[in-house]
Amino acid sequence: MPRSVSASPTAAAIAPLQTVTVDLPAGGYPIHIGSGALSRLGPLLRERGWTEGRRVLVVSNPDVAGPYGAAVRASLESVGLLVHQLVLEAGEEQKTPRSIGLIHDAAFAARLERSSLMLALGGGVVGDMTGFAAATWLRGLAVVQVPTTLLAMVDAAIGGKTGVNHPGGKNLIGAFHQPDAVVVDPDTLATLPVREFRAGMAEVIKYGVIGDPALFENLEASEDPSSREGLGAERLQEVLQRCAAAKAEVVAADEREAGRRAVLNYGHTLGHVVETLSGYGRVLHGEAVAIGMVAAGALSVELGLWSPADQERQRRLIAACGLPVRWPGFEAEAALRCLRSDKKVRDGRVRFVLPSGLGSVVIRDDISDARVLQVLERLV
């Protein structure tokens, strides 16, 4: 297993929770991963100094508060925390400044103090909004992330990117605000729609291609990586640990995305085109990333950076996860306009993260529009 994964001694007495640490100059934080973690939330937070009498605002949505809200409350109350709950509507369209206002109203009503805590219980939408509300309330409250989608478990909940959307684009309003802890309970994936699970698998495959060939091979060895049941509990636990360790390592090396963290955008540059031109909501983020990875791989083959055989392995694994692999044949000008509007464009140049081997990537910003279009046309 990756270097930073260790068994948590306290947790080990009850069940094998694993802990990955995100090492940062201003103090690191743990990512606890394991079945049953939700019911151990209170004791885990007490270990972090969240003791009796502190206030906690749990932010969630009905899809998650329904099945898991009561267990979370009970666990937090078992260690004497004073629990308040806010249930927002579900969906990406809720990820707006208005929802931040609602969270701030709830924080005010709950009389949160500097010593209080916000806790995000949900997918990436709840996590991003709660993180941003915490970053901006009383000039910065602590936040604990409790992700309940695969995508949030392996990506969104880790690394401190928080924010909401602006009519001009996704995640344009935001702040870096690292969580105080991340608690991942794979059991919560039991209620996640399978399409959402598969979207999360795209980010999992991403970690394999950018730096963890053993993870990639582990997924290839699975008879059915397209669902939680198909993957199996043991492999899922390993996948969650490996992804958390991969993200922790990149974030520790480059917390504010000055350079290295950009590798996490593998599949996202061309994925952004798919997401935008299909109309947000029609294609899930992970589905767009899946197509974006196939497209980036094809571009890389075209440039002679990686082998057609590895590209085929990537395509096969993505398809085995029930994810799309074909470029949706957008009009060329629209695709180029969209590429140039991406947040990741620097000095007007589109930066592509391209595989250069299974487990390694390079960043290139010198690829002509004509070459990109030529490759995309072949993928339609």
171 binds, among ligand NAD, ligand GLY, none (CB under 5 to 8 A by kind): ligand NAD
One symbol per residue from 230 to 269: x for binding ligand NAD (CB under 6 A), - otherwise; what is it?
A: ----------------------------------------
What span, in angstroms and rounded, lies between the C-alpha atoms of 58 and 371? Answer: 49
Residue numbers 247-266 binding ligand GLY by CB under 6 A: 261, 264
Enclosing H/E stretch for 196: helix 194-211
The footprint of ligand GLY on this chain (CB under 6 A) covers a number of residues equal to 5
Among 6, 51, 191, 374, binds ligand NAD (CB under 6 A): 191
Among 45, 183, 192, 298, binds ligand NAD (CB under 6 A): 192
Residue numbers 117-156 binding ligand NAD by CB under 6 A: 122-126, 128, 148-149, 151-152, 155-156
What span, in angstroms and rounded, lies between the C-alpha atoms of 187 and 332? Answer: 43
Q: Does 183 bind ligand NAD (CB under 6 A)?
A: no
Q: Which is nearer to ligand GLY, 159 or 324 (CB)?
A: 159
What span, in angstroms and rounded, lies between the C-alpha atoms of 332 and 375? Answer: 12
188 binds, among ligand GLY, ligand NAD, none (CB under 5 to 8 A by kind): ligand NAD
* DSSP codes joined into one string, 295-306: HHHHHHHHTTSS
Q: Does 124 bind ligand GLY (CB under 6 A)?
A: no
Using CB positions, name the residue nearest to ligand NAD: 124
Q: Does 171 bind ligand NAD (CB under 6 A)?
A: yes
Within 10 angstroms of residue 334's Cβ, the number of other Cβ atoms is 12
Residue numbers 139-178 binding ligand GLY by CB under 6 A: 155, 159, 161
Two tokens, residue 125:
């939408």
Give the list of residues 6+ apart from residue 16 with CB closer than 8 angstroms, or none: 7, 34
Residues assigned a catalytic role = 139, 161, 203, 247, 257, 261, 265, 268, 272, 285
Q: Which of 269, 309, 282, 94 is nearest to 199 (CA)?
A: 282
Tokens 């392996």: give the residue.
154
Per-residue 3-state assignment (H helix, E strand, C coil) for 221-267? CCCCCCCHHHHCHHHHHHHHHHHHHHHHHHHHHCCCCCCHHHHHHCC
Question: Cβ(2)–Cβ(242) under 8 Å?
Answer: yes
The footprint of ligand NAD on this chain (CB under 6 A) covers a number of residues equal to 28
148 binds, among ligand GLY, ligand NAD, none (CB under 5 to 8 A by kind): ligand NAD
192 binds, among ligand GLY, ligand NAD, none (CB under 5 to 8 A by kind): ligand NAD
Q: Exposed, middle or buried: residue 370 (CB in 10 Å: 0-12, 13-18, 19+)? A: exposed
CB of 136 to ligand NAD, least distance (A): 15
Q: Does 275 bind ligand GLY (CB under 6 A)?
A: no
Q: Which is nearer to ligand NAD, 188 or 311 (CB)?
A: 188
Q: Which is nearer to ligand GLY, 155 or 238 (CB)?
A: 155
The crossing angle, in degrees rounded to 10, of helices 213-220 and 308-320 is: 60
Q: Which is nearer to ligand NAD, 9 or 168 (CB)?
A: 168
274 binds, among ligand GLY, ligand NAD, none (CB under 5 to 8 A by kind): none
What span, in angstroms and rounded, lies between the C-alpha atoms of 339 and 333? Answer: 10
**Strand bridging mode 360-364 / 352-357:** antiparallel
92 binds, among ligand GLY, ligand NAD, none (CB under 5 to 8 A by kind): ligand NAD
- Four-residue CA torsion sign, 123, 126, 130, 131: positive
Q: Which residues bind ligand GLY (CB under 6 A)?
A: 155, 159, 161, 261, 264
Q: Tell me which residues touch ligand NAD (CB under 6 A).
A: 61, 63-64, 90, 92, 95, 122-126, 128, 148-149, 151-152, 155-156, 159, 161, 170-171, 188, 191-192, 196, 199, 285
